[in-house]
Structure 1
Amino acid sequence: MARITTTTLRDKKAKNEKITMLTSYDYSTAVMVDQAGIDMILVGDSLGNVVLGYENTLAVTMEDMIHHTKAVTRATSNCLVVGDMPFLSYHVSTQEAVRNAGRFLKEAGAQAIKLEGGTERVDTVKAILDAQIPVMGHIGLTPQSVNQLGGFKVQGKDLDTARKMIEDARAMDEAGVFALVLECVPTLLAKRITEEVSCPTIGIGAGHYCDGQVLVINDMLGMFSGHIPKFVKKFANLQPLIIAALKDYKKEVETGTFPGEEHGFTIKDDVLERLY
């Protein structure tokens, strides 16, 4: 199976075929996502919350992102891997943005990058694209702007913000992004945007009219004990199963049940005798 490309995704939109995307942050998880046939993996800066234990994504660094993206790309042969540009990696200057975006491809082996923002990011997106680096956009609830937005809440519910979001979507599409994440956007506004832009839209809390969907894998597998957003569906609830297995391990070690004879290795009697 050939690796998914940005062209594949545009063809899917043209054919009205839904696109699948999940986050992944490590080798073993990415292997499973790749084998499941998911179209894209986002190595998201959400690793700050679910892997590194930060309160939000703002503390995530480029070194964090490169480290985890390397692990994911080593695990995949089918998925399109997208590296998430962390806070302040593309805000200071266009030159720095291009350099950091390039690191995801050159050092980490990703096929594309994602960054947040609308009209204010057009010049940055164009510069990164000029460097032959595919860009995914992200509008709506943009977690790196959580302090400016006043918290994690649905965006585009009033006329002014809805119009601004449509303007942002058009600007990103015209700039040349290959896909556009819509996060925490009213369903019918997301439908309007999806119909207006030529690139695929990837929804997370944006309803069923988007061209595709993305979720944080730890949320949808029920492995994360923190706050779970309304838009998440748990396709499994693994945390209780994992904790139960860990408790069984503890019990068997303490009682001497594990390891058993079948878990050990043999040595020849004559070798053993010569040790004494």
Structure 2
Amino acid sequence: MKRIYTYGGMPATRNLTVADIKAGKGKRKFVQTTAVNRTEAAAAQNAGIDHLSIVDHDLAEVRAGAPDTFTTAALMASDYETHQDILRAGIRAAAAGADAVYTLRSFKAVELLADEGLAVQGHLGLVPRLSTNIGGLRAYGRTADEALQLAEDLRRLEDAGAYAVELECVASEVIAELSPRTGLITHSIGSGDAADVIFLFQDDASGDTENAPRHAKAFADMAAARATLEAERMKGLTAYRAAVLDGSYPDGATSIAMKPGEHDKLREALDKRRPFHA
């Protein structure tokens, strides 16, 4: 574990630092997943996941479950309209314990964040929220011209001060060519195995997605386990209702009795009192 201070000045420990990740480029694979709550975060940390990708609003909850795991907080595009909004949000996230921040916004927005010393991750290739610009949800970089455009965008992103980039649904050959040619840490989600970081949503990895994307692979069957749990919940509630209606619950074993002789004393005393209702 590495000892650090957060941007907010709090001492902390981390499994990785930005410097560690940069030093590992081209030498090892880093594993990244998502988390939306402390349970998922703790599971990821306990499983040895290197890197968490989260939404900034979930940071406190995630840090409670994974206090030591390198975490990138996404500044969602629709939450922060202006560059100053993005900058404030980035500084708040870093101060609260994020190790890096993610934005899909402009190169200028990346530059603003990087100029304040923040580790910034951009997003290129298929950017789902901007997919209308490329004709909808589709693979990216399947032609040489599109791959060359991606190379130019990588250069611009690096020039803006980013340290990393998420590359979504890009042809794997393109990543194999471009990743060694850029100083950016490349994160592959559906873009093959040549990137520095391999990224898969936790729901997809654990088999808890109803209609998983093509690039996803389930390594467990959380959906089936969840269905079993829900069936047990329904079984319990149905039996509970039936027991109340047929008089078998509550019973002697689940009820409290007065001390011996006290019930008779109570009856005698109540018989001597005036009725509760006139």
Task: Name the TM-score class by shorter chain.
Answer: 0.7 to 0.9
- In structure 1, the residue matched to 2:22 is 10
Cα distance in 1 for residues equivalent to 2:62 and 2:234: 31
Alignment of 1:86 with 2:70, yes or no, is no
SS of 2:220's equivalent? coil
Tell me the distance in 2 between the aligned counterparts of 1:31 and 1:268: 44
Contact conserved, 2:77 with 2:104, CA < 8 A, in 1? no
**Quick one: which amino acid aligns to residue 85 of structure 2?**
E
Gaps of 5+ in 2: 3-13, 244-248, 267-278
Counting matched residue pairs gives 243
Question: In the alignment, does 2:117 pair up with 1:128?
Answer: no
Aligned to 1:54: none
> Which has the larger displacement, 97-106 or 203-212?
97-106
Deviation at 1:192, TM superposition (A): 1.2
Partner of 1:31: 42
Aligned equivalent of 2:11? none
Partner secondary structure for residue 25 of structure 2: helix
Alpha-carbon distance in structure 1 between the residues aligned to 2:236 and 2:78: 48
Cα offset, 1:87, TM superposition: 1.9
Alignment partner, residue 105 of structure 1: 94
Residue 53 (structure 2) aligned to one of 42, 53, 56:
42
1:215 and 2:200 correspond: yes
Root-mean-square deviation over aligned CA pairs = 2.7
Q: Say yes or no: does 1:251 pair with 2:239.
A: no
Give the structure 2 partner of residue 231 of structure 1. Answer: 215
Percent identity for Structure 1 against Structure 2: 24
What's the offset of the Cα at 1:129? Answer: 1.1
Which structure ranks higher in relative contact order (CA pairs < 8 Å, sequence separation ≥ 6)? 1
For 1:267 and 1:173, how far apart are their aligned partners in 2?
71
TM value normalised by structure 1: 0.79
Contact 2:77 2:103 in 1 (8 A): no
> Which one has a bigger Cα radius of gyration?
2
- Residue 20 of structure 1: SS of its match in structure 2? strand
Q: Does structure 2 retain, via aligned residues, the 8 Å contact 1:179–1:199? A: yes
From 61, 65, 76, give the equivalent of 2:66: 76
Q: Which amino acid aligns with 1:172?
A: L
SS at match of 2:49: coil
Is the contact made by 1:39 and 1:78 (CA closer than 8 Å) also made in structure 2?
A: no
TM-score, length-scaled by structure 2: 0.78
CA shift, 1:268, in A, is 9.4
